[in-house]
């Protein structure tokens, strides 16, 4: 009768122990496994007499992170037991941890002054392993009740619920109290049908189903459900991504926000769905699968609520890199290395990834630190490639394109008393507020709410006519409202300039990329570099919030005033305001750029050097865009002005007032007469601005006005 006095519950169930294994042996294994677990936590040590698990348990008595590889090196029998029957052995592991914790703590003085054992709470064991994760599609019936490891993206997180671990029941007849344990995960408690009270003579026996649940006396833990979806790269072509339900409890609750990439270890379990889709009462045997999570690893900790963990080696490496003289240049060379040229755009994108400093003023106003950039220009100038690169490199990013984002607008759904009131607000209205105040206010169906949208915007667009047209004014090319334009810190006009030397370099660069593509795929350095940049950006964003130095502030002030004067002068000369307004927002933009440049070097002060570089970037982007387009006919040479006048005369001769003609035909006729085509177009442009002619039928037909 070995193992009789271990406090186990004995019952006879012949199917439970096939092949002649008696209940004694089962309990013995449980007892010996418990002992082994305790030995592991107490005695597992590295070569320098460091006992990691013992120390981490004393340091944080609520939970203990156990590496399966360490467990395997201690006793190769334990991991296989945990993998095959985690539901049986994990509670043992947790009991072992709690007992070890109790023995590690010194006695405390009780209320009477006597020394008592300290009260230890439950310890949650979290598992981690370096094995490969299995695909979500391959999870089948053979994995039920086994330990599995899968990876994916969380797409939804429920609110926290209280899950009973022990339910207290009261008999309604004899007031007998009974405590029933609850199955962990999404399982419920099994309530006995009859009361075990033996009635005395003359007493009425307890009826069937006499138990009433007493919620107040029951014990609870926090529980939350998550939805995990396959990683986009694992989804087979042409299929929809699958998702699976996860259940997390105790210390894992509310550590994960939707959108995080996770690798989880858990017990593949089943539950009876309440609103079963089978609909038939007979389908008792159909169960829904879910995973009870016993360990979470995050692919990148940037978007979780937990503080990001950087190792001391990483921090040292980051600081060493930041102190190098050409760290700014090195970062810019890591931004979209497959794109040739566009040096200034790369520098701007680097600033956007690092971001400025967010500030809160005493009166509660918050100033944004995020940088917004607009790339506008010809097709095939690598605009979308920049967007894709930023999506991969930023710690958390969303990429959207085309009709998917612009036509739908921003849809907000307001839920009230389970009756969904769906409301859709146009994105254009919302984006003004989202880009400057970084909130989105919704007032629909009697509910007013403010959503946070703390994000940088990197937008790419083509001009209305498809290509950037130098003959048009900047306003016609940049077909956006000034209210939106002023919210972009930098606006780049990316033109596809035909230049022999440059075209040759770009062509050789692209041919080289294609030629060496396969060789690069075997080299693992690229993703490592990408990951390094991601970690560095994350570290800079969490650790460093630079401010302007006094000398830099004075210099910035003088420069801003000068830029405003220049724009005023340009407006006076041309008779119309610039397409891109230069406002106080642009001053804030330069401040943010200076802070981002300082942040790249982990410096807490933005110096004059940073301000100069920020002003240079601002000049090559937004100021360039503000001055772009046909600058009326001010900058024309005398002979050019003369030629345009001649062309105007010929056009007026060719067209009577009120007559219309195809633009192509008019240009062909005048070029036959020896006039240059671009001069004719420019003349038409100027006449159109003076409203002497107007375009009809998608600019194909010209009508002369009176």
Cα gap 195→207, rounded to integer Å: 8
Three-class secondary structure of residue 688 per DSSP: helix
- 312-406+427-627 and 638-704 agree in CATH topology: no
pLDDT beneath 50: ranges in the chain: 1-2, 12-22, 278, 301-307, 404-428, 520, 522-524, 630-634
Domain boundaries, the chain: 1-108+118-130, 143-276+284-298, 312-406+427-627, 638-704
Three-class secondary structure of residue 22 per DSSP: coil
Q: For residue 537, give the nearest of 600, 458, 630, 606 by alpha carbon.
A: 600
pLDDT of amino acid 626:
66
Distances (CA, A) of 535 to 299, 311, 392, 594, 630: 11, 11, 12, 21, 44
Tokens representing 300 are: 């990148």
User: According to CATH, what is the number of the domain 143-276+284-298?
Assistant: 2.40.50.140
Tokens representing 639 are: 């002979």
Cα gap 220→469, rounded to integer Å: 68
- How many C-beta atoms lie closer than 10 Å to residue 2's C-beta? 10
Cα gap 474→463, rounded to integer Å: 10
Q: For residue 148, give the nearest of 131, 166, 173, 161 by alpha carbon.
A: 131
pLDDT of amino acid 556:
86
pLDDT of amino acid 113:
62
pLDDT of amino acid 508:
86
**Which pTM was predicted?**
0.59
3-state SS, one letter per residue, for 638-654:
HHHHHHHHHHHHHHHHH
Three-class secondary structure of residue 628 per DSSP: coil
DSSP state of 232: G
CA angle 595, 562, 433 (to 5 degrees): 50
pLDDT of amino acid 495:
76
pLDDT of amino acid 420:
35
Rg (CA), the chain: 35
Three-class secondary structure of residue 33 per DSSP: helix
Q: Give me the CATH topology for the region 1-108+118-130.
A: mini-chromosome maintenance (MCM) complex, chain A, domain 1 (3.30.1640)
Question: Which class would CATH give 638-704?
Answer: mainly alpha
CATH architecture of 312-406+427-627: 3-Layer(aba) Sandwich (3.40)
Tokens representing 68 are: 């399966």
Could you tell me how far CA 427 lies from the centroid of its own chain? 20
Distances (CA, A) of 362 to 42, 290, 367: 52, 48, 11
Residue 510: phi and psi, rounded to 5, are -70, -40
pLDDT of amino acid 301:
45
Q: Tell me the HSE value of 633 on the side-chain side, using a 13 A CA sphere.
A: 19
């Amino acid at each position: 009768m070995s193992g009789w006095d271990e406090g186990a519950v004995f019952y006879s169930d012949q199917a439970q122990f096939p092949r002649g294994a008696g209940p004694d042996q089962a309990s013995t294994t449980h007892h010996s496994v418990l002992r082994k677990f305790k030995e592991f936590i107490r005695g597992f040590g590295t070569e320098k007499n460091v006992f990691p698990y013992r120390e981490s348990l004393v340091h944080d008595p609520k939970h203990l992170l156990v590496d399966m590889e360490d467990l395997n090196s201690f006793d190769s029998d334990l991991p296989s037991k945990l993998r095959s029957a985690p539901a049986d052995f994990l509670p043992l592991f947790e009991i072992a941890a709690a007992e070890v914790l109790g023995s590690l703590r010194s006695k405390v003085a009780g209320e009477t002054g006597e020394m008592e054992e300290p009260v230890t709470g439950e310890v949650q064991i979290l598992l981690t392993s370096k094995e490969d994760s299995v695909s979500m599609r391959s999870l089948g019936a053979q994995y039920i009740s086994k330990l599995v490891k899968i990876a994916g993206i969380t797409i939804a997180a429920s609110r926290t619920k209280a899950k009973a671990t022990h339910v207290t029941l009261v008999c309604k007849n004899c007031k007998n109290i009974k405590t029933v344990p609850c199955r962990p995960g999404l399982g419920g408690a099994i309530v006995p049908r009859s009361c075990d009270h033996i009635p005395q003579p003359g007493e009425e026996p307890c009826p069937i189903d006499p138990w009433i649940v007493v919620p107040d006396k029951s014990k609870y833990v926090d529980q939350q459900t998550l939805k995990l979806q396959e990683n986009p790269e694992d989804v087979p072509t042409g299929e929809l991504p699958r998702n699976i339900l996860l259940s997390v409890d105790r210390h894992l609750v509310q550590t994960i926000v939707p959108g995080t990439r996770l690798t989880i270890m858990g017990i593949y379990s089943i539950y009876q769905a309440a609103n079963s889709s089978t609909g038939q009462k007979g389908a008792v045997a159909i169960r829904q699968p879910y995973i009870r999570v016993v360990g979470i690893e995050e692919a990148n900790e940037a978007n979780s609520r937990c503080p990001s963990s950087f190792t001391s080696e990483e921090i040292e490496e980051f600081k060493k890199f930041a102190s190098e003289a050409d760290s700014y240049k090195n970062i810019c060379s890591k931004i979209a290395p497959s794109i040739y040229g566009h040096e200034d755009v790369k520098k701007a994108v680097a600033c956007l990834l690092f971001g400025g400093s967010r500030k809160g003023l005493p009166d509660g106003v918050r100033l944004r630190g995020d940088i917004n950039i607009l790339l506008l220009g010809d097709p095939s100038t690598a605009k979308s490639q920049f967007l894709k690169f930023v999506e991969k490199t930023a710690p958390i990013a969303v990429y959207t394109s085309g009709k998917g984002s612009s036509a739908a607008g921003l849809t907000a759904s307001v839920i009230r008393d389970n009756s969904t009131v769906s409301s859709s607000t146009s994105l254009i209205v919302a984006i003004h507020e989202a880009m400057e105040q970084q909130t989105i206010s919704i007032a629909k169906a009697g509910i007013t709410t403010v959503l946070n949208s703390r994000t940088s915007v990197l937008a790419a667009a083509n001009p209305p006519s498809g290509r950037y047209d130098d003959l048009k004014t900047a306003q016609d090319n940049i077909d956006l409202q000034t209210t939106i334009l002023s919210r972009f810190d930098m606006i780049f006009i990316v033109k596809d300039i035909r230049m022999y030397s440059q075209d040759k370099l770009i062509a050789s660069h692209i041919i080289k990329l294609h030629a060496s593509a396969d060789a690069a795929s075997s080299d693992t350095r690229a993703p490592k570099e990408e990951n390094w940049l991601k970690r560095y950006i994350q570290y800079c964003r969490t650790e460093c919030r630079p401010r302007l130095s006094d000398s830099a502030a004075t210099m910035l002030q003088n420069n801003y005033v000068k830029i405003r004067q220049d724009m005023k002068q340009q407006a006076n000369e041309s008779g119309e305001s610039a397409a891109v307004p230069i406002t106080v927002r642009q001053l804030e933009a330069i401040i943010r750029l200076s802070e981002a440049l300082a942040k790249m070097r982990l410096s807490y002060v933005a110096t004059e050097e940073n301000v100069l570089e920020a002003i240079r970037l601002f000049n090559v982007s937004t100021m360039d865009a503000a001055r772009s387009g046909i600058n009326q006919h001010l900058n024309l040479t005398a002979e050019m002005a003369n030629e345009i006048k001649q062309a105007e005369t010929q056009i007026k001769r060719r067209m009577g007032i009120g007559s219309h003609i195809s633009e192509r035909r008019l240009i062909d006729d005048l070029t036959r007469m020896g006039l240059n085509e671009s001069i004719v177009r420019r003349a038409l442009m100027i006449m159109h601005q003076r409203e002497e002619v107007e375009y009809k039928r998608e600019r194909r037909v010209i009508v002369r006005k009176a």
